[in-house]
Amino acid sequence: MAGSRARRLLPFLQWPRPTAASLRKDAWAGLSVALVLIPQSLAYATLAGMPPETGLYAAMLPAVVGILWGSSSLLAVGPVALTSLLTSAVLLPLAAAGGSQWVALAIWLAVYSGLIQLALGVLRLGAIAHVVSDAVITGFINAAAMIIILSQIPPLLGLPPMAFNAGWPLEALAALREAPLPVALTSAFGVGALCLLALQRRYAPRLPGVLLVCVGGIVVSGLGHLAEYGIGTVGTIPQGVPGLQAPPAITASQHVTLLSGALIIALISFTEAMSSCRILSKKFNTPWSENQELIGQGLAKIASGFSGAFPVSGSFSRSALNAYVGATSGWSALFASVCIFACLLWATGFLFHLPRAILAAIIIAPVTGLINLRAIWRSVRATPADGLVALATFVATLVSTPALHWGVLGGLAASACGWAWRRFRPPGIAVIDPAGGATGDRPAASAGVRRPRRLARSRSRKQP
């Protein structure tokens, strides 16, 4: 009795006992994931408007907590593009990106979204995550992917942040005239990295393209001292592992303002993680539980907040890589966290010359695969109600930029209205045919029941 209760509270006790062979496989998988995770963490931190080192903080302890208390042993937990974009969208009206107030709000956003997921898991309300329908997710992901790409074009090309309106080409030309060399060099790094990642993905998918591009960029930037020519680089990253600390103080009104965004992040990020768990479970025949995964994801977000970082989630791309290179259990995530720990202690100095344009390319490359407007169109043609919900979510998300969570709320409202219309609209009027048949609301003249020819002939033959 006590043993079963301990396994429910500590699900990692149910892991199979590791062997020397399985530990070797998990160690190699953890190293492979960590080599991709380090540059991705820096990139997603910048997408969330956070200091680059917070991406590494979000990739270490939260990943350990998520794998220990989650239900899927192959799910890679850490910074992801969609959750980072939502974090930035929620905080943009409240503070200046990268400032101390922004960081404080992001920490609380991680804690609140984690508490929401933890409460849903403890109360065994995992099914509530299905309130975000596939149509809402389809519309939102397509719009969010476009927004992510547009937001990364300025750092990719070495241009200052700008709004994409009718005047942005003139602003880009003015920036090019003002500093032609930095813009040209940065564009070469960004566009070159994007092309290399696309070629690697198509012709050599087994190679660690993200790692190779980052190492190449660091070497070229460092040997050429290109930071002196105005190339934006990651810069100095504090060395050492962060200690756990209580979230900084914010005002009561800011606490209230964060709750709606935290709810959206909790639902969207868990829906993203849930889809990864389903695919992993189906492919490798491993069990998983919605409620237990909610607990694991919630605790991971809370751990990220107390580590001084931003909300995290399950990553499908890194989970697929984890399984592809031979991971057998959650030990691979622990090995990956050890690699992040070592990087924070001894390797942060090597990241100084990493161009930010390459980080923008690392964000853009996988996000382009999320754009699938044909899915919305197919949904409109196949199931008009769901298609209209997806289209409404897509438009609402684009219109509500940068407050993207309002796009999700608009999609949920459209989905609720569609459900209410189908549920509560009055049924059609049934017309009773004189011959005993019943039809829907067709005219009585066309409602007569006609016998099939074969049946009519067979009966006429039996008559005397």
Please give the pLDDT value at position 458. Answer: 47
Please give the pLDDT value at position 456. Answer: 45
d(CA 337, CA 300): 13
- Distance, C-alpha 271 to centroid of its chain: 9
CA dist 445 to 429, 440, 460, Å? Answer: 15, 13, 25
**Is 80 exceeded by the pLDDT of residue 446?**
no
Please give the pLDDT value at position 205. Answer: 85
d(CA 445, CA 443): 5
pTM (two decimals):
0.86
Please give the pLDDT value at position 247. Answer: 95
Please give the pLDDT value at position 432. Answer: 58
C-alpha torsion angle, residues 352, 208, 78, 413 (rounded to 10): 110
With contact defined as beta carbons under 8 Å apart, do 4 and 10 qualify?
A: no
Per the prediction, the chain carries an average pLDDT of: 86
Please give the pLDDT value at position 447. Answer: 43
Tell which residue, 129, 51, 84, has the closest CA to residue 312.
84
Secondary structure of the chain as H, E, C letters? CHHHHHHHHCHHHHCCCCCHHHHHHHHHHHHHHHHHHHHHHHHHHHHCCCCHHHHHHHHHHHHHHHHHHCCCCCCEEECCHHHHHHHHHHHCCCCCCCCHHHHHHHHHHHHHHHHHHHHHHHCCCHHHHHHCCHHHHHHHHHHHHHHHHHHHHHHHHCCCCCCCCCCHHHHHHHHHHHCHHHHHHHHHHHHHHHHHHHHHHHHCCCCCHHHHHHHHHHHHHHHCCHHHHCCCECCCCCCCCCCCCCCCCCCHHHHHHHHHHHHHHHHHHHHHHHHHHHHHHHHHCCCCCHHHHHHHHHHHHHHHHHCCCCCCEEEHHHHHHHHHCCCCCCHHHHHHHHHHHHHHHHHHHHHCCCEHHHHHHHHHHHHHHHCCHHHHHHHHHHCHHHHHHHHHHHHHHHHCCCCCHHHHHHHHHHHHHHHHHHHHCCCCCCEECCCCCEECCCCHHHCCCCCCHHHHHHHHHHCC
Tell which residue, 75, 39, 31, has the closest CA to residue 55.
39
Read off the pLDDT of each residue in 382-390 and give the average, rounded to a whole number.
Answer: 86
Tell which residue, 358, 286, 384, has the closest CA to residue 11.
286
pLDDT digits (tens, 9 = 90+) for 150-169: 999 999 998 887 666 666 77
Please give the pLDDT value at position 163. Answer: 64
**Is 80 exceeded by the pLDDT of residue 186?**
yes
**Is 50 exceeded by the pLDDT of residue 464?**
no
Residue with more model confidence, 324 or 218: 218
Please give the pLDDT value at position 441. Answer: 45
Can you say whether the dihedral through the CA atoms of 117, 122, 125, 130 is positive or negative? positive
Tell which residue, 150, 147, 36, 34, has the closest CA to residue 82.
147
Tell which residue, 309, 256, 244, 237, has the closest CA to residue 79.
309
pLDDT digits (tens, 9 = 90+) for 5-22: 777 778 888 888 899 999
**Is 50 exceeded by the pLDDT of residue 187?**
yes
d(CA 327, CA 211): 19
Share of the chain above pLDDT 70, in %: 89
Task: Please report which confidence band the pLDDT of residue 1 belongs to, taking 50, 70 and 90 as the band edges.
Answer: low
Lowest-confidence pick of 86-95, 137-146, 200-209, 431-440: 431-440
**Is 50 exceeded by the pLDDT of residue 454?**
no
Share of the chain above pLDDT 90, in %: 56
**Is 70 exceeded by the pLDDT of residue 438?**
no
Please give the pLDDT value at position 463. Answer: 46
Please give the pLDDT value at position 258. Answer: 95
**Domains of the chain by residue range:** 2-10+19-370, 431-462
Read off the pLDDT of each residue in 454-463 and give the average, rounded to a whole number.
Answer: 46
pLDDT digits (tens, 9 = 90+) for 37-73: 999 999 999 999 999 999 999 999 999 999 999 998 8
**Is 90 exceeded by the pLDDT of residue 218?**
yes
Please give the pLDDT value at position 440. Answer: 45
Sequence-distant (≥ 6) Cβ neighbours of residue 33 within 8 angstroms: 76, 318, 321, 322, 325, 332, 333, 336
**Is 50 exceeded by the pLDDT of residue 321?**
yes
pLDDT digits (tens, 9 = 90+) for 66-120: 999 999 888 999 999 999 999 999 999 899 998 999 999 999 999 999 999 999 9
With contact defined as beta carbons under 8 Å apart, do 29 and 335 qualify?
A: yes
**Is 90 exceeded by the pLDDT of residue 291?**
yes
Task: Please report which confidence band the pLDDT of residue 430 belongs to, taking 50, 70 and 90 as the band edges.
Answer: low
Tell which residue, 84, 78, 76, 82, has the closest CA to residue 106.
84
Please give the pLDDT value at position 429. Answer: 54
Task: Please report which confidence band the pLDDT of residue 400 belongs to, taking 50, 70 and 90 as the band edges.
Answer: confident
